[in-house]
Every structure is written in C-alpha cells, then in structure tokens.
C-alpha cells in the first residue's frame, strides 16, 4: 500500500490550512504596506532562460554553481526554475524599456523559488519569497526607505525577535583594494579554512566571510572589514543611509561580516535575522542590498537599484497568529435531504453567500444523522435543513448547533424559503 502513495518532492511542501491562512495574511499585509510606499506588483514567469541567472547572479555563487533546477526545453534552450526574483525583475525592467520612459520603478512580487539545497528545517527546495525592488534611485534615502518598509511590514504582522544587520560592500572603485587586503589576510589564514573556503579564497574571497563553519569563523575573526575600506563616495552614502535609518527610528547593528550570498551587491547590504536560538543556522528571514551594476550587466542602461527578498516560510514561523487555532470559518451548514430539495438548497446557499455568509452545503445522499455529525464538526452556528416536506411547503428548518442557541432557548424554527437568507443573516448579526 505505502509503495503506491505518491509524496511531494523532497524539500517541496504543501501548505495546508490553517498554515495557508498565515500565508494569505502575510500577502494581504504585503499589499497593504507596500502599496502605501508606492510599490506596484510585478508578476514574472517562474521559468527563465538559464543564462539570465548565470549572468545575473554569478557563476561562482552556490545558487548557480550547484542549486539550480535546470532543464532543456524541447528546442534545446536551457531553462531554469527561478531561484530568486531580482534577476527576473531586472530582465522585465530592461525588456520593457522602462529606463527610457520612467526610470524610477517601485515593484514588489511574491511567489515560489527553487533551489536544490540540502533540505532541512527552514531550508527548502521550493520556498516562497516576497521581494521589493526600487529601480532608478541611487540616493541613500531609497536604501533606508526600503529597509524601513521591511521593518514596518514585519512589525505590522506582529513579528518580534528579529534584528537588522547592516553593512556596506563598497563599489567597483573601492572593492579591488578591499579584496586585495582580504586576500592577503586569507592567504595567511589559509591552513585554517575549510575546503570550500580554500577555493573561495581564490574565486570569491568575500564569500569566505559568509562561511558558517566554526573553524572558518575563528580564522577570519580579525579579517579586514569592507566598511574600513570604503571610498569617499561610498562612505558618504553609507553615512546617509544610517542618518535616514536613525530618522525613521529603525534600530540596526553594523555587521561587517555580512557579504550576502549573491554576487551582484554593491554598497548597502542588510539582513533581518531571527534572534531566537531555535531558528538555528536558518535564521536569515530577509536579505537585500544595492545592486547598481546589474541592470547594465543584463543589457540595460546603467540604472541604480536596490531591493530585498523575504523568506515567507521563515517569516510565517514568526507571525504570532500562526500558533493560534484558527476560528471556525463556516457560519451556516445547509443540508438538502431527499428528492425535490436541490433547487431550494442551491438558491438559499447562493443568497446567503451573496450576503457574505460562509456556507457549507451538503447535498450528499447521506441521511440526517451523518449530515448533523458533519454540521457539528463544521463549527457552523446554524444548520438549515431542507427536506422533501419543507421544500414542498416552501420552507426550511433552522436548527441551532452547539455554538449558538436560538433566541428564547428554542432549538429549531421553521422559516419560509423566501426571506430565509435575510432571517438567518439577522440571527448571525
Ligand atoms: P536570498 O535570495 O538568498 O538572499 O534569500 C532571501 C531570503 O529567502 C532568506 O533570508 C530566506 O529567508 C529565504 N530563503 C533563501 N533560501 C531559502 C531556502 N532554501 N528555504 C527557505 N527559505 C529560503
């Protein structure tokens, strides 16, 4: 028997009710809060040409090097299930020529992302992100406003126990000198680095600072920090980001080790981390930063940009309502029993739903006993019974269920079908 059960793919999960309610709550809050900041929703395809990600995210990143779901289309084109949303947003921005019309775009998006990672708690192969991007603004105010929007959004969801880390990675002017200083330091510490970091030391030394292994962290504890090597423009930009964050009242801590896993960042980077030790290594709830070179790298005009992505599963774990039992969602349980009851039951259910009342309609062949059992479990306040006799009289019986007695302790009343919806709505009010 068990051999025949088909399960979801490893690392890819169903989101069942009531957890799906938390997802919906998060999405509603996303639209409400982001809308207030002037952001509009972007929807892009889930599949893109592979070269968008290899060029946009960077061949050397873990994502491109080993985590992408890549396959050949029937015409031989290499396609990839998107591992993140920024590259697609940039592609859309360039493809639709937005830089020429109105270079400033504020977009948000949500949807599934795919990475073939080692599946474990908080790390999945299909997960969901909410992202926001601002194109066309280079000012520090844009970085800070985006960070503030992230803080506003999580606060609105009642999330506690998160801390914001902030760093600046510099720009193509100051990065080479920093890379050289870091490279020299890492050469001295090479013997203490893990195998991966030995390789990264040559290919992408900043990523060594991101390694979670204790040995590497110890070995790089005194590594030079990028904020100590910023050019004058980057230093001024970073100071302004901090001044704006102070003005917004957003708390943050400088995190000189935060380099982020994607290659395209410059200047500001930030991460929202869950502080509860239970979150373990998967404690990054959101991350983002400035990526002023990416639009040009993907064929557009040079356009500054800044963005973030939130992991919805990790955020949902911090939303307080996720831990509460959901309230019963059905108001009225309509049951049709016997011949000649279909039209009356369908009409009444439609009228009730049109009034905003939640109805579970049981039109099965089962008898009263089974239907009342189901009605009790539904959490509905009332059962409305339409049997053959009632239907013939143009009436229905409204019966109190455990959760809501009828007035004067009456257990059941008969109501004419015409006007029954208004009568029931009145009792629910
Ligand atoms: P990134 O696109 O790597 O900067 O990730 C942004 C956010 O997405 C992270 O802070 C996580 O919350 C979430 N995230 C990234 N990878 C995964 C994954 N494999 N499973 C669950 N969430 C993830």
pLDDT tens by residue, 141-198:
999 999 999 999 999 999 999 999 999 999 999 989 999 999 999 999 988 999 989 8
Q: State whether the beta carbon of 128 lies less than 6 angstroms from ligand 1.
A: no
| Cα–Cα distance measured from residue 37 to residue 87, given in angstroms and rounded to the nearest whole number | 22
DSSP state at residue 65: I
SS3 20: helix
Q: State whether the beta carbon of 186 lies less than 6 angstroms from ligand 1.
A: no
pLDDT tens by residue, 315-366:
999 998 755 556 657 999 999 988 889 899 999 999 999 999 999 999 888 8
CATH of domain 332-428: 3.40.50.800
Segments of the chain assigned to CATH 3.30.930.10: 2-174+230-323
Highest mean pLDDT among 17-21, 58-62, 243-247: 243-247
Segments of the chain assigned to CATH 3.40.50.800: 332-428
Query: pLDDT category, 7, cuts 50, 70, 90?
Result: very high
Residue 4 has what pLDDT?
Answer: 87
Can you point out the beta strands (E) in 195-351? 253-254, 266-274, 284-290, 305-311, 332-337
Q: State whether the beta carbon of 307 lies less than 6 angstroms from ligand 1.
A: no
Q: Domain 2-174+230-323: which CATH class?
A: alpha beta
Q: State whether the beta carbon of 284 lies less than 6 angstroms from ligand 1.
A: yes
Residue 61 has what pLDDT?
Answer: 79
pLDDT tens by residue, 107-117:
999 999 999 99
User: Mean pLDDT over residues 37-54, rounded?
Assistant: 97
From 284, 288, 306, 313, mutation site for ligand 1 pocket: most ligand atoms within 8 A of C-beta: 284
Q: State whether the beta carbon of 286 lies less than 6 angstroms from ligand 1.
A: yes
Q: State whether the beta carbon of 115 lies less than 6 angstroms from ligand 1.
A: yes
Q: Is the pLDDT of residue 405 over 70?
A: no
> C-alpha distances in angstroms, 251 versus 153, 165, 201, 270, 289?
15, 9, 33, 12, 17
> Is the dihedral angle over the CA atoms 191, 193, 195, 199 positive or is it negative?
negative
Q: How far is the CA of 366 from the centre of ligand 1 (A)?
A: 48
- Which residue's alpha carbon is nearest to atom 2 within ligand 1? 84
Structure tokens at 282: 């998967």
Structure tokens at 284: 């990054």
Centre a 10 Å sphere on the Cβ of residue 408 and count the other Cβ atoms it contains. 6
Q: State whether the beta carbon of 114 lies less than 6 angstroms from ligand 1.
A: no
């Amino acid at each position: 028997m068990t051999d025949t059960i088909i399960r979801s793919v490893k690392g890819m999960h169903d989101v069942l009710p009531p957890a799906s309610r938390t997802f919906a709550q998060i999405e509603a809050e996303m639209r409400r809060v982001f809308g207030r900041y002037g952001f509009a929703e972007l929807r892009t395809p889930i599949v893109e040409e592979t070269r968008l990600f290899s060029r946009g995210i960077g061949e050397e990143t873990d994502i491109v090097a080993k985590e992408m779901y890549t396959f050949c289309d029937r015409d031989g084109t290499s396609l990839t299930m998107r591992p993140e949303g920024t590259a697609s947003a940039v592609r859309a921005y360039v493809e639709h020529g937005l830089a020429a019309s109105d270079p400033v775009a504020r977009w948000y998006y949500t949807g599934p992302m795919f990475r073939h990672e080692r599946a474990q708690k908080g790390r999945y192969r299909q997960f969901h992100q909410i992202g926001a991007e601002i194109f066309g603004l280079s000012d520090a105010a844009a970085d800070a406003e985006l960070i503030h929007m992230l803080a506003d959004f999580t606060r609105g969801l009642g999330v506690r126990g998160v801390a914001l880390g902030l760093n600046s990675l510099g720009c193509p002017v100051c990065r080479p000198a920093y890379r050289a200083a870091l490279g020299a330091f890492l050469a001295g510490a090479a013997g203490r680095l893990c195998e991966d970091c030995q390789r990264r030391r040559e290919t992408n030394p900043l990523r060594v600072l991101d390694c979670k292994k204790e040995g590497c962290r110890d070995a790089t504890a005194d590594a030079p920090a990028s904020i100590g090597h910023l050019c004058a423009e980057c230093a001024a930009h970073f100071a302004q980001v901090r001044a704006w964050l102070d003005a917004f009242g957003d708390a943050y801590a400088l995190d000189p080790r935060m380099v982020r896993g994607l290659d395209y960042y410059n200047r500001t980077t930030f991460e929202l981390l869950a502080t509860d030790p239970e979150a373990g290594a998967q404690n990054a709830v959101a991350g983002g930063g400035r990526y002023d070179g990416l639009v040009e790298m993907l064929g557009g005009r040079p356009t500054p940009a800044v963005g973030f992505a939130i992991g919805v599963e990790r955020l949902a774990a911090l939303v307080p309502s996720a831990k509460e039992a959901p309230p019963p969602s059905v108001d009225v349980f309509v049951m049709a029993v016997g011949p000649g009851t279909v039209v009356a039951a369908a009409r009444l259910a439609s009228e009730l739903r049109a009034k905003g009342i939640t109805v579970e309609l049981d039109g099965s062949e089962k008898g009263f006993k089974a239907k009342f059992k189901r009605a009790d479990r539904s959490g509905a306040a009332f059962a409305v019974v339409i049997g053959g006799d009632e239907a013939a009289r143009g009436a229905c019986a409204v019966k109190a269920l455990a959760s809501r007695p009828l007035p004067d302790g009456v257990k059941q009343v008969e109501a004419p079908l015409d006007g029954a919806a208004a009568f029931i709505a009145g009792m629910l009010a």
